[in-house]
Amino acid sequence: MIEIALATSCETLAQKISAALSSFQAVLSRYQSLSALPSALELKRFDLIVIHHPKEGCEDGTHISFERNLPSATPVIAITSDKHLECSVQLLNSGIDRCLPASFDKSHFCAVVRALTRRSHGLISSVSQYGALSFSHETKQTWIHDKQIALTKREAQVLDILLRRVGQIISKVDIIKVLDFNNTDINTSAVEVYIHRLRKKIKSEYLPIRNIKRCGYFLRRFDPPNESAAYSNALSCISRPLSAQMR
């Protein structure tokens, strides 16, 4: 699930962005102005911030100085008026990641969102590689050693969540929030079923999902077998007496 903060008082722009993100697993939180963002950012972590940047502010620098104070680790998209694209230079110099005109193409906007959010999650492309397993976050297709694995829509969504949060414990409630925004059709039992089906279709040697009692699920970071073996051998050498190593 992608958490996006949108700061704009323009209803038309808000509707356009909401429509563009309809195909995403995204939760859009809207704020009426830039000044409303700081307090919101203190209470909640967002994967992306989208701000509507008016013409005024480029002239006096007030908005520019504010944007420098946005979280450095969170990517930011600024939407500017088509007539005032010259603001883009100042915005980019102030730390904004991308500038788009208000007449942006929806597919291009979505591509920019994907690019920025996957990099903030440590992904270089829209395909995650977990050992022999490959997964496309865009098409939700899965392969193991170039052999495609047939997953249902829900199973693929759960795998998407696991791969986006490798090395983190993910609660069942968090998974439910992503799968069902309204939290009406899916419960913890359904999540357990999807995990069970994933385990049946993908062996644990390729996808070692662990149950963390009363916490949720955990997918460890992938360690290449050769590196792990080399590390184990190095440890065994260190633990042996020096005289034994010299024999």
Q: What is the pTM of this model?
A: 0.53
The per-residue pLDDT for range 115-142, each reduced to its tens digit, is: 887 666 555 457 788 888 989 887 888 9
For residue 55, what pLDDT is reported?
Answer: 55
Q: CA torsion 38→40→42→44, rounded to 10°? A: -140
Mean pLDDT within 19-32: 82
2-120: what fold? Rossmann fold (3.40.50)
More confident: 45 or 30: 30
For residue 164, what pLDDT is reported?
Answer: 85
Asked whether the beta carbons of 20 and 109 are under 8 A apart, the reply is yes
The per-residue pLDDT for range 151-194, each reduced to its tens digit, is: 999 999 999 999 988 889 999 988 888 887 565 677 888 999 99
Give domain limits for the chain. 2-120, 127-219
For residue 27, what pLDDT is reported?
Answer: 82
For residue 145, what pLDDT is reported?
Answer: 87
More confident: 85 or 97: 97
The per-residue pLDDT for range 34-92, each reduced to its tens digit, is: 777 777 777 788 888 999 876 544 544 445 455 556 666 788 999 988 776 677 888 88
DSSP class of residue 222? P
pLDDT band at 150 (very low <50, low <70, confident <90, very high): very high
Report the run of H or E that residue 49 belongs to, with start and end: strand 48-53
Q: Hey, do 2-120 and 127-219 end up sharing a CATH topology, with the first three levels equal? A: no
On whether the 127-219 domain is CATH 1.10.10.10, my answer is yes
Strand, helix or coil for residue 89: helix
For residue 69, what pLDDT is reported?
Answer: 60
pLDDT band at 93 (very low <50, low <70, confident <90, very high): confident
Asked whether the predicted pLDDT for residue 230 surpasses 50, the reply is no
Alpha helices in the chain (DSSP H): 11-20, 37-43, 62-67, 87-93, 106-120, 153-164, 172-179, 188-201, 225-239, 242-245
